[in-house]
Amino acid sequence: MPSLRDAVRGRILFGGDYNPEQWPEEVWEDDVRLMKEAGVNSVTLGVFSWARIEPRPGAREFGWLDRLMDLMHSHGIGVVLATPTASPPPWMGARHPETLPRAEDGSIVWYGSRQQFCASSPVYRRYAAALTEDLAARYAGHPALTMWHINNEYCTHCWCDETAAHFRRWLHERYRTLDALNEAWGTAFWSQRYDAWPEILPPRKAQYMKNPAQVLDFKRFTSDALKECYTAERDIVARHTPDIPVTTNFMPLWSGQDAWAWSAEEDVVSVDIYPDPRDAWGGQYNAMIADMTRSQAAGPWMLMEQAAGAVNWRPVNRPKPEGLNRLWSLQAVARGADAVCYFQWRQSRQGSEKFHSGMLGHAGEHGRAFRETRRLGAELAAIGPAVSGAGVSARVAVLHDWDAWWAGAQEGLPSALLDYAEVIRHWHRALWESGTATDFARPDADLGGYAVVVVPHLYLLDDAAIDNLVAYVRGGGRLVCGFFSGVADRDDRIRPGGMDARLRELFGIGILHEWWPLEADEAVECDGFRGTLWSEELEAAEDAEVLATYRDGELAGLPAVLRRGRATYVSTLPEPAALRSLLAGVVREAGVEPVLAGLPEGVEAVRRGELLFLLHHRREMVTVAVPGTYEDLLTGRSVVDRIALGRYGVAVLRSTAP
Ligand code: GAL
């Protein structure tokens, strides 16, 4: 099986999406000159080139791409070649309107933007496969080709009739009989019983709340339907070039795609990360997505896209201040990335993204963006041989699961304020701030290698996952679980008692009487901290240890945090400092040390292979105590026992002790 290693070959890939079809050919020469100057060794071509390659049905215009592939090769730049199937040309929608997605209310999602295809459309799939076939045949064996990039950020949803038929086939595979489907969907409720398969629809616009089990299955189906599009194209390119690795780029922590299931189908796991430069916790977000992607890849991963400066899709789009692009790029490398790439190489002058930054911005080669690009390219080249391929090891895992996310993000819950991604982020932040190396894992994964497992919030847990957690604790592991977890089974049916009985026993919960969600601006006093978002009316089992009780309100005196042996349950969302110290306590008890003790506020330490990365997320000068003698691979200087870091400073240290 080919892997990222085959494309990387002992370096770090550096480059980005390159859209030369937006520019006259004279500019291409200038592009390669500047790419060489910046140390770019990889470009992603073709992502949105469908209309250029196939201007009318069945036509093939490869000449321009031939010239580009040759141009890249002659300058030693590898090409991540995309199948351009994310954005069908207007002719497809005009001639085959059935390829256009329908929204929940039946309205058509038109061409004129991008990604307007129905994943279930046989016509779309046929055209996509034919183009992929010809592209793969043409460039198989081209020396510039280093990787395949299938489509781009698969994310379409469709509720059309073709989708309905496909959904029914998917459901038939899953349930076999209508009785089983009716049972799983709880259709006795509101007279929703189905009498024949053709009656079943995707959950379209409805009068009131939709059947949650149907919505859950539709989300599962949509992820699978898109995955079929991906694997169909992957199989075509793999047939032509079995030694070239294949990827498709994920959106980070995005609910539309079960990235655990998808990453199992990829040779290279890649992701696009766009932290908000104005977010004081942007560095933590970057770290979290890096940890998640590394865990999906089970090793080095590819940062396929990030922005050199501003994006253009937030309400207010500020550029990254000087140094932040470098800091977040090196942070991704510290956390396992072997590729640091961007959307996009040269900033566009036309189209919807003309205000989105590029590695080479409108200001040109003398602008700050390009100056920073050049510096980073040189630094990545310097550290590449020592870093590339090395692993990051963690003894703490955070559990994350799409089924639980999908089921728990519906209408009709105790609170509409519960935001799964935000809860995950809150818990990861607590570990990040305490300097604990962290992986992500799925709830049914083999957890044996972890000293501590953390469940921020998994509303749905199937029986296998529950057995897995119980066995993990029995086997000596420490489990910390957040509120509103283990509530529903795989069909989104509430477990008797409101929470699975095995889990209640594990944590020492006698009775779970009620869920008490909190208002957005409400907090509940607990012993030693304040809880937000959620609280629960719990009764502890006799042998449970109550670590903190609620202090005020209706739940005063009841347990807020309780524990039985090595299993701890947290029934609210503790404020950050409290959650940090709670988790740090468990981690310490498990014998897991932070990467580096005694760090100044805002400094992150990460070990990758034999290297120690120090990353300073703030602007003031700090001194970091780092006992021993090292070489800083970024400066070549030697470091003895301490190092000063300025604004957004980074050091990559290799021990020189004999
Ligand atoms: C990504 C996408 C790119 C570009 C970028 C802008 O979602 O894959 O094509 O649109 O966002 O931030």
Burial 605-628 (b: 16+ CB within 10 A, else e): bbbbeebbbbbbbbeeebebebee
- CATH label of the domain that carries residue 633: 2.60.40.1180
Residue showing tokens 């009775």? 511
Residue 421 covered by a domain: yes
> Considering 54, 305, 372, 379, which one is annotated as catalytic?
305
**Under the phi-then-psi rule, with left for phi > 0, alpha for psi from -120 to 50, and beta for the rest, what region is 125?**
alpha
Catalytic residue (choose from 54, 153, 162, 233): 153
In a domain, 505, yes or no: yes
Among 541, 559, 589, residue at a domain's last position:
589
Atom of ligand 1 nearest to the CA of 251: 7
Instruction: With respect to residue 522, please indicate whether it lies within any of the assigned structural domains.
Output: yes
Pocket flag, ligand 1, residue 338 (CB < 6 Å): no
465/583 same-domain check: yes
Residues 585 and 607 in one domain: no
The total number of structural domains that make up the chain: 2
Q: Are 647 and 423 in contact (CB under 8 A)?
A: no
Q: What residues are paired with 624 via a beta bridge?
A: 643
CB 579 within 8 A of CB 426: yes
149 lines ligand 1 (CB under 6 A): no
**What's the residue count for the chain?**
658
Q: In testing the pocket of ligand 1, which one of 155, 305, 312, 342 has its CB within 8 Å of the most ligand atoms?
A: 305
DSSP three-state, residue 177: coil
Task: State in Å: Cα 153 to ligand 1 middle.
Answer: 8
Domain containing residue 501: CATH number: 3.40.50.880
pLDDT at residue 121 in the model = 98
CA atoms within 13 A on the CB side of 33: 7
How confident is the model at residue 657, as a pLDDT?
86
C-alpha 343 to ligand 1 mean position (Å): 6
**Domain end among 540, 555, 589:** 589
Is the minimum distance from the CB of 272 to ligand 1 under 6 angstroms? yes
Of the residues 564, 589, 614, the one at which a domain ends = 589
To test the ligand 1 pocket, which listed residue (272, 276, 317) has its Cβ within 8 A of the most ligand atoms? 272
φ/ψ of 639, rounded to 5, equals -125, 125
Please say whether the beta carbons of 45 and 82 come within 8 A: yes
Task: Report how far ligand 1's centroid is from the alpha carbon of 85 (Å).
Answer: 15
For ligand 1, is residue 305 a contact (CB within 6 Å)? yes
- State the Cα–Cα distance between residues 422 and 442, nearest whole angstrom: 18
422 with 548, same domain: the answer is yes
What is the per-residue pLDDT across 562-599, written as a single tens digit (0 to 9) for each?
999 999 999 999 999 999 999 999 999 999 999 999 99
Q: Is 44 in the pocket of ligand 1 (CB under 6 A)?
A: no
Known active-site residue 173: no
- How high is the pLDDT of residue 400? 98
Question: Which residue of 343, 344, 355 sits with most ligand 1 atoms within 8 Å of its CB, as the best mutation to test the pocket?
Answer: 343
Name the strand (E) or helix (H) holding 626.
strand 622-632
Residue 41 lies inside a defined structural domain of this protein: no
Q: Is residue 315 part of a domain?
A: no
pLDDT below 50 — which residues of the chain?
none
Q: Let me know whether 584 and 617 are in one domain.
A: no
Residue nearest to atom 5 of ligand 1 (CA): 343
pLDDT tens digits for 327-343? 999 999 999 999 999 99
Residues 531 and 631 in one domain: no
Residues 568 and 536 in one domain: yes
Kindly state whether residue 106 falls inside one of the protein's structural domains. no
Give residue 41 CA to ligand 1 midpoint distance, Å. Answer: 21
Tell whether 569 and 626 lie within a shared domain.
no
249 CA: nearest ligand 1 atom: 8
pLDDT at 550: 98
502/506 Cα distance (integer angstroms) = 6
Is 37 noted as a catalytic residue in this protein?
no
Residue 157's nearest CA partner among 73, 220, 81, 251 is 220
| Judgement on whether residues 550 and 612 belong to the same structural domain of the protein | no
Contact 61, 53 (CB under 8 A): yes
Residue nearest to atom 9 of ligand 1 (CA): 343
Residue 567 falls inside a structural domain: yes
For the Cβ of 396 lying below 6 angstroms from any atom of ligand 1, the answer is: no
Q: Could you tell me if 116 and 88 are in contact, meaning their C-beta atoms sit under 8 angstroms apart?
A: yes
Taking the CA of residue 311 as reference, the ligand 1 atom at the shortest distance is: 12
Ligand 1 probe mutation, 21, 150, 153, 344, most atoms within 8 A of CB: 153
Q: Is there a single domain that holds both residue 540 and residue 618?
A: no
Burial pattern 197-216, b for ≥16 Cβ within 10 A else e, equals eeebbbbeeeeeebbbbbbb
Report which of 333, 320, 451 is spatially closest to residue 387, judged by C-alpha positions: 333
Residues 561 and 620 placed together within one structural domain of the fold:
no
554 plus 635 within the same structural domain:
no
Residue 162 beta carbon below 6 angstroms from any ligand 1 atom: no
Assess whether 504 and 554 both reside in one domain.
yes
The answer to the question of residue 650 being in a domain is yes
CB-ligand 1 contact for 233 (6 Å cutoff): no
Strand 650-655 and strand 638-645: the pairing is unpaired
Q: Which domain holds residue 625?
A: 603-655
